[in-house]
Amino acid sequence: MEIQLKKGLLDAYVLALLRKGDTYGYKLLQDVSSVIEVSESTLYPVLRRLEMQGCLNLYQLEHNGRLRKYYRLTGDGIMRLEEYKRHLTDVKHIIDLIFERGVSI
């Protein structure tokens, strides 16, 4: 899959998962990996970037004697997710038109 498209889909999916509720990094990795092939070395920089952009907040809670980092979607993250949703809906519409006209990618 083309890198920029995958990056946008990955960002959108992470934000969509967090819209359902706060979660920790490893759980996000498992959930994302079930749909998009991704490694820790790909996902964690995405989480850091989204945090730096104000889309996520990070906090820590103790779990089994260790601190676990949790991610929470912010208001800016919700707005970004809505932008992705509009953009990807437009892209889906264009792809549908291409296939309806008998042109394959």
Ordered per-residue pLDDT tens for the chain, 105 residues: 566 667 778 999 999 999 999 999 999 999 999 998 889 999 999 999 999 999 999 999 998 999 999 999 999 999 999 999 999 898 889 888 888 887 555
DSSP code per residue over 63-78: ETTEEEEEEEE-HHHH
pLDDT value at position 4? 65
The structure tokens 């792809």 sit at 95
For residue 68, being part of any structural domain is answered with yes
Domain count, the chain: 1
CA dihedral sign, ordered 77, 10, 51, 25 = positive
For residue 105, being part of any structural domain is answered with no
pTM: 0.84
By residue range, what is the domain housing residue 38? 3-100
Beta pairing partners, 72: 57
For residue 25, being part of any structural domain is answered with yes
